[in-house]
Amino acid sequence: MTETMRLAVALDGAGWHPAAWREPDARPDQLLSAGYWTDLVQEAERGLLDLVTIDDSLALQSSSRTEQDERVDQVRGRLDALQVAARVAPVTRHIGLIPTVVVTHTEPFHAATTVATLDYVSTGRAGVQIRVSARPDEAALFGRRTIPPFRPAELDTPGGARAELFTEAEDYVEVMRRLWDSWEDDAVIRDVTTGRFVDRAKLHYIDFTGAQFAVRGPSITPRPPQGQPLVSALAHRAVPFALVGRSADIGFVTPRDAEHAGDVLAQIRAAQDTAGRVDDTVHVFGDMVVFLDDEPAVATERKARLDELAGSPFTSDAQIFTGTPAQLADLAQDWQRAGLSGLRLRPATLPHDLRQITRALVPELQRRGAFRTEYPADTLRGLLGLPRPANRYAEGATR
């Protein structure tokens, strides 16, 4: 049997096409409601997907990747991704929940406690997608530092102000990981007879000092159910690839084709090796925006109609796929053979393309023996075949 493919969905607003909110089945009046997000995540869970990611940022959405725009014909405004994940967690049972947290301009102590809380609320299904903010307009919202105008090529080689933000992100992740371990698993006693609720000897200072953070700890939240919630990141270039290899459990990448996917994987695996993580499992998902319909021409026509509404052809950092679920299944298996764990699909419109994923793509992959027919575990680590890590501060632990 073909190795089981991993499937994830990236949720954002009414879908990833800027005119998606104008589709007949869209729900633009409910984008800021709990019910809207609950319906989407429950649909993803019905499709047995491994996880959903929930997008977020420090500034309003923009048609520009480097600055704000003045458009009023596209969705603007969003709910906090962590809060959304916490809301949908109690009404789901199996699917992993990975909200985005911007790690520039924010504090790792706060993020660590909120993600740990999400792991409790979801009974062990939490992760976090870390995002670096490299935009001057976002820095201006906080006023703590200035960031020069963004040039993507800066992320091809280490060094420089932009690459330093990714070094800072690595420190941020390290602080979170230490804080998640700052309570040993049996630190909470709850012994009514002796009156001891906590074994204080099993709470630990983390004493982290870096260029941007000096955090003593311990956390205010006991160790999460998974021990360590999963850390993920989106990566397009060499510096972010290194961040995934050195610090993450999951990487989301944007290959052009299967050959390019192999090249990207080689860079991530090299970073793992350099960081001494060669034996760790780091799942890498290929990102793709999808327009899915029963006939290829229908998908193509739908994209063209949305492009006309938006006033320009849709472009993306990820590959854009228009076609049938069966055609996408072929492509997904090609990318899997190149070494990717699976795909993270970005539905162009919601709920249409999400339902095409759960009700057409998934059954097609199941017929090929390439995707599960039931959930094998109740935690995100369990779904992804990752062990629960030992606590670094426990007696006898190796650091």
- Render pLDDT for 277-329 as a digit per residue (tens, 0 to 9): 999 999 999 999 999 999 999 999 999 999 999 999 999 999 999 999 999 99
- Distance between CA atoms of residues 239 and 157, nearest Å: 6
Q: For residue 291, give Cα distances in angstroms to 39, 43, 301.
A: 20, 17, 10
pLDDT-derived band at 63 (thresholds 50, 70, 90) equals confident
More confident position, 200 or 151: 200
Q: What is the pLDDT of residue 162?
A: 75
Interhelix angle 81-88/34-46, rounded to 10 degrees, is: 60
Model confidence pLDDT, tens digit, residues 337-373: 999 999 999 999 999 999 999 999 999 999 999 999 9
pLDDT-derived band at 4 (thresholds 50, 70, 90) equals confident
Q: What is the pLDDT of residue 82?
A: 98
Q: Which residue in this structure is represented by tokens 């879908």?
A: 15
- Distance between CA atoms of residues 112 and 176, nearest Å: 5
- Distance between CA atoms of residues 389 and 230, nearest Å: 11
Task: Note the pTM of the prediction, 2 decimals.
Answer: 0.95
Phi, psi of 10 (to 5 degrees): -100, 120
Interhelix angle 108-121/81-88, rounded to 10 degrees, is: 20
Q: What is the pLDDT of residue 23?
A: 98
What tokens does 107 get? 């504090």
Residue 270 neighbours by CB under 8 Å, 6+ apart: 245
Residue 147 neighbours by CB under 8 Å, 6+ apart: 133, 134, 135, 136, 138, 139, 161, 165
pLDDT reading at 396 higher than 70: no
pLDDT-derived band at 146 (thresholds 50, 70, 90) equals confident
Q: What is the pLDDT of residue 77?
A: 95
Q: Which residue in this structure is represented by tokens 């976090």?
A: 128
CB 383 within 8 A of CB 376: yes
Q: What is the pLDDT of residue 274?
A: 96
Looking at domain 6-183+222-227+238-246+278-288+339-344+354-383, its CATH class is: alpha beta
pLDDT-derived band at 1 (thresholds 50, 70, 90) equals very low
Q: What is the separation, in whole angstroms, between the first and last Cα of the chain?
A: 38
Three-state DSSP string of the chain: CCCCCEEEEEECCCCCCCCHHHCCCCCHHHCCCHHHHHHHHHHHHHCCCCEEEECCCCCCCCCCCCCCCCCCCCCCCCCCHHHHHHHHHHHCCCCEEEEEEECCCCCHHHHHHHHHHHHHHCCCCEEEEEECCCCHHHHHCCCCCCCCCCCHHHHHCCCHHHHHHHHHHHHHHHHHHHHHCCECCCCEEEECCCCEEECHHHECCCCEECCCCEECCCCCCCCCCCCCCEEEEEECCHHHHHHHHHHCCEEEECCCCHHHHHHHHHHHHHHHHHCCCCCCCCEEEEEEEEEECCCHHHHHHHHHHHHHHHCCCCCCCCEEEEECHHHHHHHHHHHHHCCCCEEEEEECCCCHHHHHHHHHHHHHHHHCCCCCCCCCCCCHHHHCCCCCCCCCCCCCCCC
The pLDDT of 146-153, averaged and rounded, is: 74
pLDDT reading at 22 higher than 80: yes
Q: What is the pLDDT of residue 305?
A: 98
pLDDT reading at 399 higher than 60: no
Model confidence pLDDT, tens digit, residues 171-215: 999 999 999 999 999 999 999 999 999 999 999 999 999 999 999
Mean pLDDT for the chain overall: 95
